[in-house]
Chains A and B, each alone.
Chain A
Amino acid sequence: MNKMVKITIDGKTIDAEEGANLLQVARDNGFDIPGLCYYDKVSPTGACRLCLVKIKEQKGLIPSCTVKVSEGLNVTAFDEELEDVRRTIVELLISEHKLGCMTCDTASECALEDLAYRYNVTVDNLPFPVKTKYESIDDSSPVLAYDPNKCIVCGRCVKACYEIQGKGIIDFIGRGIETKIAPDLGVDWKNSACDGCGECIQACPVGALFEIPSVGKARKWEVEKIETICPYCGVGCRIEVEKKDNEIVRINGVDDGPANNGRLCVKGRFGYEYEMSNKRLRTPLIKENGKFREASWDEALTLTARKFSEIKKNYGGNSIAGLSSARCTNEENYIFQKFMRAVIGTNNVDHCARLCHASTVAGLARAFGSGAMTNSIRELEFADCILVTGSNTTETHPVIATYIKNAVLNHGAKLIVADPRKIDLVKYATLWLRQKNGTDVAWLNGIMNVILNENLHDKEFIKNRTEGFDEFRMVVENYTPERVEKITGVPKEKIIEAARIYGTAKNASIVFSMGITQHTTGTDNVLSTANLALLTGNVGKLYSGVNPLRGQNNVQGACDLGALPNVYSGYQKVTDPDIKKKFEEKWKVALDDKVGLSVVEMMNEAHKGNVKAMYIMGENPMVSDPNLNHVEEALKNLDFLVVQDIFLTETAQLADVVFPAYSSFEKSGTFTNTERRIQLLNPVLKAPEGAKEDWEIVQELALKMGYEMQYNNQSDIMEEIADVTPIYGGIHFYRLGKDGLQWPCKDENDPGTLFLHKGKFSRGLGHFSPVDYIPPAELPDKEYPYILSTGRILYHYHTGTMSRKVSVLNEYEPGPYAEISPELAAKLNLKDGEEVRITSRRGAIVTKARITARVAPDSVFIPFHFAEAAANRLTNDALDPIAKIPELKVAACKVEKM
């Protein structure tokens, strides 16, 4: 905080922070100076001129939004001349503004409308003729429209697009009275680079930019606004839902949302249509003779309880396995694993985190003692150097990407991207390393080799805070830039430059995701990132750390709450006798002390017939898991399969019993986002009649199976969680409020933890692991000559259960495709959009070719969202030996033109 100074506004003395924005200070002190272009989230523009003031001893009229407060400023905010000028500005703006307020969706929340009222400016008393010739509206984008006739050219959208979202797609075009805004220098919105995040709409003070799906749905004063958490990814954006008659009208980012600061992506803002889909499940289903029939809750629950009890009796609890859900709340995950462990009597509980960050949890736990993001999301904006590897952040964590872009564009940070694909962030990067898929240990070791050789390592930190440095050093010494170039294909000069950039940064942060974790060497990769941070002392402090980006909205929470085969909630080991005893006492039942089956292992055991029944809550392995043909056979081989979900997913179609559940718009409970922040949901809509909350279903099933479970609500469950889970010890619903709390939060008085390992690592000392490079399990050969990699795209989410039921998202990306390089396309004589068959040792799919230089010449990338051409029919289920994560990022394939 800067020092406080005294200023005077209209004779009143005010204490203000030196350097603060004068307009803001004036408004905070009750001087309602008008302004249209001022937007506190972006740099001041000084365009509308409404906030003009007079400052003693300064010439002319000065826009207060551009003035920084300094000692002794003597300001006139209101006098007749200033108000005359302001009225004239409003008159000028109204003279150019299409007065379509009667049908405008912004009416009543329009800043110009308010000013017209305040200054009594109407068409009748306007001293100028009103504009009558209108330009056409650009509504070519699937999600947003621009009406130039309502635009006041304040530039807030332009700055929001650049300074907040880091995209810079919108700018002014034209001159003089013709000036307006447009994407990409004046192309149609549809053909521009706009990705539909809608930040511009949120910034627009009038109705010039608006949401197409919301048009005509409700007047602003008819809607009820309820805040909750976005149902999509792990960023955990706080959203404000406007609803009318149990339908969502519009979604806005919440400005003081702790993770998103008002920002959203296209899915968060526009991806809600699925919620009102008529395909929602409304009643339990029982399969008879291969066909589903509707059933009562009692019948379905009784049947399930009977089947589970029988199988448990005949084959033991370990013949049943459960998949919990990264889409469900913390409370529901806790209840689900409790059900599997206490009622079924098995540790066979896992969830899709196995497929994304199992190696992170294993690797970072070994290196630091805790497997989560070390820092908070918004710290990224202030790092001097960010190394992003194996994360196409722009598409998978769009809001986090904006902070990375802010760091580069607004604060001059250096960005290093290491990725085999030329992802969007490469545009912002100082340096791009295009490594061969699966060679991450090698280039990371190469960078560390240079850092050591050039003496850029943090000797003090290594001495005081770490162990294992000497053994580690011996391995890294073998990775000279020359050798690394041979393994990875990254020129040695770039390895050296990366080492110098990262090694000399004051605050360096590593961001990684599935490109690092989904390998048979996933744990090794993670350990290497940890080594790099330890070597340079870039962990355990603000803005510096190792930050795995978690995928699903509550994948962090599902892990935290013990939906894993080896740990109870809070990463308490099932093999630890003391821990086991604690839970046995709490749950009043004997528990198993053996580690259970992981996702892929469950499928393997089901295939073999050792697992007889499965209970799947809110997951869709029939699209998400590797080697789908194998998964399909495994699930069909089960004696009994229960699925509970909001839609009849690909997996639910194979079930014997299906339970209809609530969506996150209908629930209370908590999600834990990727920065370890536990945030409270608010029920926004009434759930479809006939559905139940997931925890309720599990509880009723437990009761039917004779286990006493009596929670009244999710808050009750959280009380139990806090009781048995040290890192959640201080979490109670009443404490969460708008900002939530970040674990570790040990007790009632603990404010939570912004960044981890300050002063001391969770495990004591940071541990260096000597890691050698091991090639991927499957490499291209003569028959399968290309490298196949899979991943996500911006417009769809995971298995598409939600996003593919949203028409505007389908408009952006309607179906499956494979990214194929121009080189490979030329070789196959392939044109953009033509069909190709892609085959691996495990299966084949037919999809459309998208020819793009994003992929390396000999590589193919397929988004895995699309069941009709499921990438996971091709992927390899070879596992990382420690984390049991499959190698989804590297497989060998062949490509044929159809």
Chain B
Amino acid sequence: MGKYKITVGMGSCGIAAGAKPVYDKLNKLILEKNHPEITLEETGCVGMCYKEPLVEVIDTETGQKTLYGGVTPEKVEKIFTEHIENNSVIRDWVVKSSKKDGSEENLFDKQYRIVLSRTGIINPESIQDYLNSNGYEALKKVMNSMSQTDVIEEIKKSGLRGRGGAGFPTGLKWEFANKAKGDKKYMVCNADEGDPGAFMDRSVLEGDPHSVIEGMVIGAYAIGANEGFIYCRAEYPLAIKRLNIAIEQAEKEGYLGNNILGTDFSFHLSIKQGAGAFVCGEETALIASIEGKRGMPRIRPPFPAQSGIWGKPTNINNVETLANIAWIIRNGADKFASLGTEKSKGTKVFSLSGKVKRTGLIEVPMGITLREIIFDIAGGIKEDKKFKAVQVGGPSGGCIPESLLDTPVDYDSLSATGAIMGSGGMVVMDEDTCMVSVAKYFLNFTQNESCGKCTFCRVGTKRMYETLDRITEGKGVPEDLDKLEELAYMTKESSLCGLGQTAPNPVLTTLKYFRDEYKAHIIDKKCPAKECKALIKYEIDPDKCKSCSICARNCPVNAISGEKGIPYVIDQSACIKCGNCLRVCPFGAVEVK
């Protein structure tokens, strides 16, 4: 029997999928069967959400790695007896391996991992693991041989742009903060990841917290800050726990705190927990929140670089942005800039969700097309249904139709479609998705999360939502479309912060690309995707009905009646359109019209 190291993916996603019992089972077996030579460790998320829980068996002598997906405590037993004890790989369960014979190998073919290079591989609670994978090498390089200007110039040269959404050049931002006058400056990490469907920041914090800390220390050095905060939402308890462990370790090892690496540079870092208000991801609202005030955006100028936390120059970068820094310093700006497009350099992490076969996190070079992501990496649409649209950039983004699938993924090309890069959420929709409902869903989110300051964002989004709601209820009128478009445009043009300025994007893009679908709702009173309950009805095809009565028995409101030998009928006035009959009919006799 060989020497093995076993890792279990224990990000929030893995834990949610049941990684804890898997881990416990492994631990129990190692103890029971007395295998002290086997090491068992936690790791972060490798990105394969759809295959969680994931267990990797690493033969420490040969270096052979085998990643098993969809592992259960029961499967653990078999992996233990066959693979560990008898060195026999269970082919059917392998999703990825050193031999490249797993079922999911082509998930990784078009990826390029900088930010996610360690997540799912190292133990996030071990600074040694981080150090073993080039961790803090960049900081050492900076401290030994680079001036503040050198660092800023290097980042500027790399072309790195903010990964939080707006895409502002990071080096330039640092330069502003560096040049701002002030006896005290702050370096802040924005870990207030709020887009529904975006979870890359959480994954990085949970899987590779030191990479963010290293990026922050380098940034703090560059701008001249001695104090910093990681503003992380309280809904990310695991990320906060691992960050706290990492901060403590980094302080102990001299990468953080007083006299970093023996130099006279000191940087103190602490975590501020946010209460989960979406708007606190906006820089000025985030600053207000750190100060203990209500998170509400304020007018700029002054920009945070001049007057941020408690009036002091403040630099704020997103988690993913910071996780790129050490790599750039280590590998050089040129190497980073060689990835991506002319104006969007490096890679971008996307979280894939919705109707694709492979959901999870991927990291791709900028410039890859949407088609490549959705069809090559994510494996196409579930059940091989027809692709309809992809919502890029979360609630502030837009829906991109099939005709634009060859759009390269970079800041400017995405903006041109009416969507935004945003934090990198991608929700894929198929033919069964109603685009009016999608717009309504996202608008409901933003109108709820509006801080309430600007009239358009507070009241305008609500009125737009109500209009969309009316349309999905079949009560829309033709004038609604122009009114909706006008209000959406005004809200976009007239709001103070990014939330209000982008909230109408889902409405505007669906109106642009799927106007016919709106018209179908309003004029024909039909929902082409058959999603809007008020616009569909369930009917039983008398030719297919075998009078088995299953549908009637499963109807929660007794709306279905019939007798043996006579086809069953749905009483439309009583039907609540729950769809139970459709699901339970063994003969496919129930139809949606």
Main secondary structure of the interface of B (DSSP, over half): helix
Please tell me which one of the listed residues B299, B452, B455, B456 contacts residue A176 in the complex, with CB atoms under 8 A apart: B452
Contact in complex: A172, B452 (CB < 8 Å) = yes
* Contacting residues, chain A, for B296 (C-beta < 8 A): 172
Judge if A474 is at the interface, Cβ distance under 8 Å.
no
Q: How far is the CA of A44 from the CA of B455 in the complex (A)?
A: 15
The answer to whether B494 and A153 have CB atoms under 8 Å apart is no
Q: With a CB–CB cut-off of 8 A, which chain B residues contact A129? A: 466
Chain A residues whose C-beta falls within 8 Å of the C-beta of B462 in the assembled complex: 176-177
Contact B447 A177 (CB under 8 A): yes
B428-455 vs A, CB cutoff 8 Å, 1 = contact: the mask equals: 0000000000000000000111111111
B449 proximity list for chain A (CB < 8 A) = 175-176
Please give, as numbers and ranges, the residues of chain B lying within 8 Å of A141 by CB-CB distance. none
A95, A175, A177: the one within 8 Å of B277 (CB)? A175
Q: Given A89-B456, A92-B460: A175 and B483 within 8 A (CB)?
A: no
B455 touching A47 by the CB < 8 A rule? Answer: yes
Inter-chain CA distance A632–B495, complex, in Å, is 69
B444 to chain A, nearest CB (A): 10
A179: interface (CB < 8 Å)? yes
CA distance A171 to B487 in the complex (A): 28
Asked if A93 CB lies within 8 Å of chain B CBs, one says yes
Against B, the Cβ 8 Å flags (1 = close, 0 = not) of A85-108 are 100110011011000000000000
Residue B496, interface by CB 8 Å: yes
Nearest A residue (CB) for B278: A175
B463 within 8 A of A: yes
Scoring A50, A88, A153 by chain B CB atoms within 10 A of each residue's CB, the highest score goes to A88
Q: Is B458 an interface residue (CB 8 A)?
A: yes
The answer, among A61, A89, A177, for a CB contact under 8 Å with B493, is A61
Partner pick for B448 among A61, A92, A175, CB 8 A cutoff:
A175
Which of B448, B461, B463, B490 interacts with A85 by CB under 8 Å? B490
Residues from chain A with Cβ under 8 Å of B460 in the complex: 88, 92
What residues on B are CB-neighbors of A45 within 8 Å? 299, 453
Q: Are B453 and A47 in contact (CB under 8 A)?
A: yes
**Interface SS of chain A: helix, strand, loop or mixed?**
loop
The answer to whether B496 touches A46, judged by C-beta atoms less than 8 angstroms apart, is yes
Q: Is A128 positioned at the interface, with any CB of B under 8 Å from its CB?
A: yes
Q: Which residues of B contact A127 (CB under 8 A)?
A: 483
Q: Does any Cβ of A come within 8 Å of B141's Cβ? A: no
- Bits for B292-305, please: 1 = Cβ < 8 Å to A, else 0: 00101001000000
Chain A residue with Cβ nearest B464: A128
Does B368 sit at the interface, judged by CB under 8 A? no
B459 within 8 A of A: yes
The answer to whether B455 and A49 touch across the interface, beta carbons within 8 angstroms, is yes
Distance between Cα atoms of A177 and B457 in the complex (Å):
9
For A46, A49, A61, A174, the residue with the greatest tally of chain B CB atoms inside 10 Å of its CB is A49
* Bound complex: CA A47 to CA B455 (Å): 7
Q: In whole angstroms, what is the CA distance A782 to B38 when docked? A: 78
A430 within 8 A of partner (CB): no
Give 1 or 0 for each of A34-67: 1 = CB within 8 Å of chain B CB: 0000000000111111101000000011010010
Give the nearest-CB partner of A88 in chain B.
Answer: B490
Measured CB to CB, the closest approach of chain A to B301, in angstroms, equals 9
Complex Cα distance, B496 from A44, in Å, reads 13
CB distance A176 to B458 under 8 Å? yes
Q: Are A95's CB and B452's CB within 8 A?
A: no
Contacts of A50 in B (CB 8 A): 455
Q: Which residues of B contact A551 (CB under 8 A)?
A: none
Q: A47-B454, A129-B466 are in contact. Are A61 and B459 (CB under 8 A)?
A: no
Cα-based distance from A629 to B493 in the complex (angstroms): 74
Q: State A179–B493 Cα separation when bound (angstroms).
A: 22
> Is A155 an interface residue, CB under 8 A from the partner?
yes
A176 surroundings in chain B (CB, below 8 A): 447-450, 452, 458, 461-462
Give the CA-CA distance A601 to B205 in the complex, in Å: 78
Contact of A153 among B294, B458, B463, B496 (CB under 8 A): B458
The distance in angstroms between the C-alpha atoms of A175 and B466, with both chains bound, is 17
Instruction: Establish whether residues B450 and A128, one from each chain, have CB atoms under 8 Å apart when the complex forms.
Output: no
A89 touching B455 in the complex, CB below 8 Å, given contacts A44-B299, A46-B496, A49-B495: yes
A93/B459 in contact, CB under 8 A: yes
User: What A residues does B277 contact at CB under 8 A?
Assistant: 175
Chain B residues in 8 Å Cβ range of A174: 452
Selected from B279, B294, B461, B487, the residue in CB contact (under 8 A) with A88 is B487
Residues of chain A within 8 A (CB-CB) of B458 are 153, 176-177, 179
Distance (Å) between the CB of A67 and the closest chain B CB? 9
Tell me the minimal C-beta distance from A132 to chain B in angstroms. Answer: 13
| A128 CB contacts on chain B under 8 angstroms | 463, 466
Q: Is the CB of B451 within 8 A of A175?
A: yes
In the complex the two chains form, what is the Cα distance from A92 to B456 in whole Å? 8
Q: Closest CB of chain A to B415's CB: distance in Å?
A: 14
Shortest Cβ distance from residue B196 to the other chain A in the assembled complex, whole angstroms: 15
- Closest chain-B Cβ to A390's Cβ sits at a distance in Å of 32
Considering only residues 48-85 of chain B, those with a C-beta below 8 Å from chain A are: none
Question: For residue B459, which residue of chain A has the nearest CB?
Answer: A92
Q: Is A61 within 8 A of B452, CB to CB?
A: no
Residue of B459, B466, B490 ringed by the most chain A CB atoms within 10 A = B459
Q: Which residues of A contact B455 (CB under 8 A)?
A: 47-50, 89, 92-93
Residues of A contacting B463 with CB < 8 Å?
A: 92, 95, 128
Q: Which of B454, B459, B486 contacts A177 (CB 8 A)?
A: B459
Closest Cβ–Cβ distance, residue A159 to chain B (whole Å): 12
Chain B residue with Cβ nearest A177: B462
The residue that B450 contacts in the complex, of A60, A96, A175, with Cβ under 8 A, is: A175
Please name all residues of chain B whose beta carbon is closer than 8 Å to the beta carbon of A44 when the two chains form the complex. 299
Max chain B Cβ within 10 angstroms of own Cβ: one of A45, A47, A84, A172: A47
Name A60's contact: one of B294, B452, B453, B493 (CB within 8 Å): B493
B140 to nearest A CB, angstroms? 40
In the bound complex, CA of A79 to CA of B296 (Å):
30
Residue of A52, A66, A95, A178 near B494 (CB, 8 A) is A52
Given A96-B459, A175-B450, A176-B461, are A46 and B299 neighbors across the interface (CB < 8 Å)?
yes
Q: Which residue from A61, A96, A155 sits with its C-beta under 8 Å from B453?
A: A155
Q: How far is the CB of A19 from chain B (nearest CB, A)?
A: 13
The closest CB in chain A to the CB of B495 belongs to: A49
A166-183 interface bits toward B, Cβ cutoff 8 Å, 1 = contact, 0 = none: 000001101111110000
CA distance A60 to B279 in the complex (A): 21
* B493-513 interface with A by 8 A CB criterion: 493-496
**Complex contacts, A63 vs chain B, CB 8 Å:** 299, 496
Q: In the complex, which residue of chain B has the Cβ closest to the Cβ of A171?
A: B294
Contact A95 B459 (CB under 8 A): yes
Q: Please report the C-alpha to C-alpha distance between residue A88 and residue B489 in the assembled complex, in whole angstroms.
A: 12
Give bound CA distance, A66 to B301, whole Å.
9
Q: Select the residue from B294, B447, B452 with max chain A CB neighbours within 10 A.
A: B452
Interface string of A125-137 (1 = CB under 8 A from B): 0011100000000
Min CB distance B390 to A, Å, is: 27
Complexed CA–CA distance, A176 and B294 (Å): 14
Interface string of A654-691 (1 = CB under 8 A from B): 00000000000000000000000000000000000000
Residues of A within 8 A of B459 (CB): 92-93, 95-96, 177
CB distance from A798 to the nearest CB of B (A): 39
Contacts A/B (CB < 8 Å), 28 sampled:
A47-B455, A49-B454, A49-B494, A49-B496, A50-B455, A60-B493, A61-B494, A63-B496, A85-B493, A85-B494, A88-B460, A88-B490, A89-B494, A92-B460, A128-B463, A153-B458, A171-B294, A172-B296, A172-B452, A175-B279, A175-B451, A176-B449, A176-B450, A176-B458, A177-B462, A178-B452, A179-B451, A179-B458
Q: A128-B463, A172-B294, A175-B450 are in contact. List 13 more A-B contacts (CB 8 A).
A: A47-B454, A48-B455, A63-B299, A84-B490, A89-B456, A93-B459, A172-B296, A175-B451, A176-B448, A176-B449, A176-B462, A178-B452, A179-B451
**Could you list which residues of chain B lie within 8 angstroms of chain A, going by C-beta atoms?**
277, 279, 294, 296, 299, 447-456, 458-463, 466, 483, 486-487, 490, 493-496
**A-B pairs, 6 with minimum CB distance:** A179-B452, A92-B459, A177-B462, A176-B450, A66-B299, A47-B453
